[in-house]
């Protein structure tokens, strides 16, 4: 799988941009080294950061549903 060249949008709060971009970096590392998963602390950090912003509640809940459904 090719490297994901995505990044958080500039309009997002800075701490959320950092959490998203860090998660994407970890995803790329996982793919590059054929790892099975991203260390859980990156996912936890992303969800905790997202949860500080009620306006992104739908996105946070959607991410949590995917993680639970896929038993991640």
Kindly report the pTM of this predicted structure: 0.84
Gap between the Cα atoms of 45 and 39, Å rounded: 11
Neighbours of 42 (CB within 10 A): 19
pLDDT of residue 19: 97
The DSSP symbol for 4 reads P
Residues of the chain with pLDDT under 50: none
- 37 phi and psi angles, rounded to 5 deg: -160, 170
What's the pLDDT tens digit per position in 32-49?
999 999 999 999 999 999
Residues 6+ apart with CB under 8 A from 2: none
Residue pair 46/23 in contact (Cβ under 8 Å)? The answer is: yes
């Amino acid at each position: 799988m090719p490297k994901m060249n995505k990044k958080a949008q500039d309009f997002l709060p800075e701490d959320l941009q950092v959490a998203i971009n860090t998660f994407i970096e970890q995803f790329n590392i996982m793919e590059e080294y054929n790892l099975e998963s991203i260390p859980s602390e990156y996912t936890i950090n992303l969800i905790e950061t997202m949860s500080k912003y009620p306006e992104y509640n739908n996105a946070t809940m959607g991410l949590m549903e995917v993680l639970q459904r896929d038993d991640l």
